[in-house]
Structure 1
């Protein structure tokens, strides 16, 4: 069966969807996206994702899509697809424009929603390799999920080519920032620590929930201190994944602590 999607107000099979060749998201990466978890046939953290999308739109001077329209679109796509558990991606671009960098005077954003079922397999431990690419925590773009993902793509590709599963990126000062597509949690000095956004960490939705619950704290972690880290996890809206190693430094598995984190993040459909 051909997957369904929602594009600019219309539900249709993915095979019939068309993006204008002049769309700035396609040509320039001029846009944002949100990856959202689907559980029990709904998006339990939809409002958090829409909040972050609104912040990102303001950062990019991009007119935000109507919030009520997005809520309705999410519901319509979930109903039409019959998806119970998995993921949904919301993509918003600045729409079409003339040649060059300057946006059109009147912006008509392109809004796309896609969804997919999740695998039942639990993600296994990952081996991280420290990347040569850096995160710039002083840039406003480091705090939004823009369509410009080439540094992360290259970091992941180079990590896999060197025998790792994913990349660990640092900031310009050599502090740990995040992985290529996830925040990182580090067990250090008896606490779970996550790098601050000033060090290049994306303000992830799962990361925010853990901070609000007091299950982790923000703290800069220089790469040299990784040898002191006992356990670590990658966390995103869709998963919590233990880290097996960072370069040559082996990490321990902490099932008890992982269970606490997993229960808060994914324990119930409406958590």
Structure 2
């Protein structure tokens, strides 16, 4: 596999990142996962806009190169027509301590992978081990520090589920460890608002454009849902059951898959 490192494509075996890179030592960085379909990088500009917004929150300078061209070059070098690109941006090498260097030199890595098989409908539980902090600016950032999600996903595995639904510190529904959440309640398609600690998902925006509405949801609201599905850059995934309750429908997710490219 060839990957993009810094300013050029390199062979995987030749790629090197410093052990003093702050992405490794402190999780100081951002990432984006992008779907490639028919050789095209789907929603590329939306992903790059979210990357830029996250970089502004972190005070992290973007590399002085054409990121769209770098993504395309990585896909082409790996003959990737159906698959996944991951763009990782760290603050680069820094001295010991938390305070970033005054003039950071960011590290950029873009990798390519085949498209994974479509997963079956998900089984969800509500995470008990952690919460989303809706007041943190990092709730809006796709950060390299994914430990809350990892803890929730580990809990889900222990409880025999595929993923965990995270609540925020006010007991409102936020998202799962890896995806945004949509529910059909009394015929209305709804999703939690960003203010409830929700990552501004790129596919989430595409579903909102099809008529979904934002509103805060308590866990008991989901008890009234006829359908729940998850959205991520790789598509829409229906939920088969939540905390052991079978969801009776997957019709809305199926309709949206037909309307939204890559869903």
Q: TM-score, normalised on structure 2?
A: 0.96
Matched with 2:256 is: 261
SS of the residue 1:6 aligns to: strand
Separation of aligned partners in 2, 1:24 and 1:157: 25
Mean alpha-carbon deviation: is it higher for 5-14 or for 52-61? 5-14
Q: 2:236 aligns with which of 233, 240, 248?
A: 240
Give the C-alpha shift of residue 144 in structure 1.
0.6
Matched with 1:12 is: 10
* 1:1-271 aligned within 5 A: 3-66=1-64, 68-119=65-116, 121-132=117-128, 133-214=130-211, 216-255=212-251, 257-266=252-261
Q: TM-score, normalised on structure 1?
A: 0.93
SS of the residue 2:4 aligns to: strand
Structure 2: which 5+ runs fail to align? none
Mean alpha-carbon deviation: is it higher for 26-35 or for 39-48? 39-48
SS of the residue 1:74 aligns to: helix
SS of the residue 2:53 aligns to: helix
Deviation string for 1:226-271 (max 9, x for gaps)?
Answer: 210111101101021110111122212323x222211232269xxx
Separation of aligned partners in 1, 2:7 and 2:244: 50
Separation of aligned partners in 1, 2:4 and 2:106: 14
SS of the residue 2:190 aligns to: strand
SS of the residue 1:266 aligns to: coil
Structure-2 change in CA distance of 1:97 and 1:88 (3 Å): same
| CA root-mean-square deviation | 1.3
SS of the residue 1:213 aligns to: coil
Separation of aligned partners in 1, 2:56 and 2:262: 33
Between Structure 1 and Structure 2, how many residues are aligned? Answer: 262
Structure 1: which 5+ runs fail to align? none
Give the C-alpha shift of residue 136 in structure 1.
1.2
Deviation string for 1:33-60 (max 9, x for gaps)?
Answer: 0001101112121110010000000000
